[in-house]
Amino acid sequence: MKPNTNQNNDYYIEIDDPYDEIEIILPSESNKSSNSRNIRKKKAYKSRNAKYSKSSGFSLKWPFIILFVGLIYLFYEPMLSYIMSMLKSNPTIYSYYLYFESEIANNSIVGMLYTAIFGSLFFLAIPSEALFVYFLDLKNYPGVLILLLMVAGNVIGLIINYLFGRLLGERFVAKIFSKNFEKYQEKINSSGGWILLLGNIFPGPIELITVFYGSFKFPLGQYIYLVFMGRLIKYIILFVLFTFYWDSITLFYDDILGEFSNIKDIYSSLI
């Protein structure tokens, strides 16, 4: 601001406009920049927390797992003897136990069915491929009959897993598997049918995963169909391999064991 006069001696004041060189930032642009900065800060904070939680979870998880396995190993025989004493205290239940034990030990038709059912339960999960090959190698019954018994028993056992998960419900299973629950839920919702089919064809922990199918209320009819088809394809492949190529497979396996034994002998001689 400065005074000035003109030729008529009129006095006036000239004012410089202070807004000529001011850069005006619109509120929307400032909000966008601040929001982007806040988002970047939140992402960096989450990534740091995720790294910290993963590292801390890894350091704390494995000692507990080792301790749990060690406790099971130490108390396995006392727990087994305690369970047997509880069974013997009830004559009715113990008679059923003796019946199942005798049928399974004798490898009867009913015993093979029971073995297939119990082996597909999620808390036992006996390798079904090994059981099938074992029954075929006994040659007590036709291979087609053994195949049908294994398929039927596995389907019954996997339906029990499904119903167990359905009975527990989604909330209870989410509490038990809190870390992996959302991951399993997303995978089952996106490609649950393929996981169920391929998981029953190829070896894997499908018995435990079937509990999630029940808790997520996967359609039971579709579940039974996929389980049946997967187990049928699995045992047909194993049956063909056992019938036509088992001698070659066992010969190759014996050769590998022989090579390992030779390497072991050489190593022991050097020591």
Rounded CA separation 114/150 (Å)? 9
Three-class SS string for 62-103? HHHHHHHHHHHHHHHHHHHHHHHHHHHHCHHHHHHHHHHHHH
120, pLDDT greater than 60 = yes
The pair of structure tokens assigned to 65 is 């797992």
Give the CA distances from residue 96 to residues 93, 101, 110, 126, in Å, rounded to whole numbers and listed in that order. Answer: 5, 9, 14, 21
- Which candidate, 137, 148, 160, 158, places its Cα nearest to that of 109? 148
Q: Minimum mean pLDDT among 32-46, 64-78, 239-253: which range?
A: 32-46
pLDDT of residue 174: 73
Measured over all CA atoms, what is the biggest interatomic distance in the chain, rounded to whole angstroms? 130
The pair of structure tokens assigned to 234 is 């699995």
pTM assigned to the model: 0.62
Rg of the chain over all Cα atoms, to the nearest angstrom: 35
The pair of structure tokens assigned to 59 is 């350091």
- Which candidate, 17, 15, 18, places its Cα nearest to that of 1? 15
pLDDT of residue 109: 92
Rounded CA separation 146/150 (Å)? 6
First vs last Cα of the chain: how many Å apart?
101
- How confident is the model over 77-96, as pLDDT tens digits? 787 788 888 888 888 888 88
- Which candidate, 199, 201, 198, places its Cα nearest to that of 231? 201
* Greater model confidence, 76 or 74: 74
The arithmetic mean of pLDDT across residues 258-264, rounded, is 58
